Structure 1
Amino acid sequence: MPSSKEKLPGESYCFACGPENPIGLHLDFRFDAEKYVAEKTLPHEYQSYEGVVHGGIITTMLDEAMGGYLYSSGERAVTARLDVRYRKTTPVGEKLIITGWEEGRRGHFVNMKATIALADGTVTAEGSAKMALVD
């Protein structure tokens, strides 16, 4: 199972997970078996139209679930390719469960998957990414 890694100086301002970023998402992930999971209820400041989370914010949360998984496992990676499928509208003001996991590796690339789901398990968005490992 991956281990958790502390943030390096300056990384506490990450828009997605940085605790010191005043306008950030403040996502707080943890490992649950082989998956990287966070729960978040977004306020209306992150909506596009009434009651619906903006697609860019959804993409950011999926990307963080995949890249953060590797970072917290002690590996540095950048997103080389990212695909998002919006399956349903994602509501503001409701608990969301963001989950990321590793699918496989080939050379310096890691294939990742992530989902955003409602508390009842309904998946509203899913992502897949090819992450490039860097030194």
Structure 2
Amino acid sequence: MPPTTPPADAVLPPRAPGAPAPGTRLGSHYEHCFGCGPQHPQGLRIDAVAGEGLDVTAEFTVRPEHQGGPGLAHGGMLMTAMDETMGTLNWLLHAPAVTGRLESDFVRPVPVDSVLHIRAWVTGVHGRKIYSAAEGRIGGPDGPVAIRAQALFIQVKLEHFTTHGRPEDIEKVMDDQDLLKRARAFEVNP
């Protein structure tokens, strides 16, 4: 069984109490995040929306600075968009987590100026492991699949970030009381 496939005894938990309601924009977990941060000048600015269950949708517009081959999205940028979108699923579980493994299948090229419509969903939870999958489509949410991804996320405590992050960035986050309050609400085994 591949490491991104949940084991047979994994469960699909309910949405966490107090999780963002369906249709809610999830926003950025950190304003300077390359994937979702609005303050990152070259970032992807992924803005996910909570779905009905344990799923989210997002859009990523491929800009010229995201290209690899002439006029085409760089595969690493596409993977970053998929990783970021799958990572937002953790808001629905109230579980801070980090990417443990990420796998992809590139199905078709994605041209610059295209919008990649991403849908991600939880496929199972087993202990601290959260399994998820995603599809990215071009031409609309029902357009042809351009990329598929599967991931394994590992739940961590907030100390994971404060212990390993750059001190000046941690200090800025700790000074942001709204962000700190939001993050503490999702702490694993507080």
TM-score norm. by structure 1 comes to 0.89
Shift of 1:108: 0.9
Give the greater-gyration-radius structure (CA).
2
CA RMSD of aligned residues (A): 1.8
Cα distance in 2 for partners of 1:80, 1:32 equals 24
Q: Structure 1 residues 125, 53: CA separation in 2 closer, same or farther (over 3 Å shift)?
A: same
Secondary structure at the counterpart of residue 58 of structure 1: helix
One of 17, 36, 59 as aligned partner of 2:36: 17
Secondary structure at the counterpart of residue 31 of structure 2: helix
One of 153, 157, 161 as aligned partner of 1:131: 153
**How many residues are matched?**
133
For residue 91 of structure 1, what is the aligned residue in structure 2?
111
Aligned amino acid, residue 57 of structure 1: M
4+ long deviations beyond 2 Å:
4-8, 71-74
Cα distance in 2 for partners of 1:101, 1:124 equals 17
Aligned amino acid, residue 63 of structure 1: D
Q: Structure 1 residues 6, 72: CA separation in 2 closer, same or farther (over 3 Å shift)?
A: farther
For residue 122 of structure 1, what is the aligned residue in structure 2?
144
Cα distance in 2 for partners of 1:40, 1:81 equals 21
One of 31, 50, 60 as aligned partner of 2:80: 60
Shift of 1:50: 1.6
One of 127, 133, 147 as aligned partner of 1:113: 133
User: What stretches of structure 1 of length at least 5 have no aligned partner?
Assistant: none
1:30 paired to 2:43: no
Answer 1 or 2: higher relative contact order, Cα 8 Å, separation at least 6. 1
Secondary structure at the counterpart of residue 112 of structure 2: coil
Shift of 1:93: 0.9
Shift of 1:72: 5.3
Secondary structure at the counterpart of residue 59 of structure 1: helix
Aligned amino acid, residue 126 of structure 1: R
TM-score norm. by structure 2 comes to 0.65
Which structure has greater strand proportion?
1
Cα distance in 2 for partners of 1:78, 1:71 equals 12
Q: Report % sequence identity.
A: 31
1:43 paired to 2:63: yes
For each residue in 1:18-71, what CA deviation from the matched residue of structure 2 results, as whole angstroms up to 9, or x when unmatched?
A: 011111111111112232111232211111112210011011011111112114
Confirm or deny: 8 A CA contact 2:56 2:120 kept in the other structure.
yes
Secondary structure at the counterpart of residue 51 of structure 1: coil
For residue 97 of structure 2, what is the aligned residue in structure 1?
77
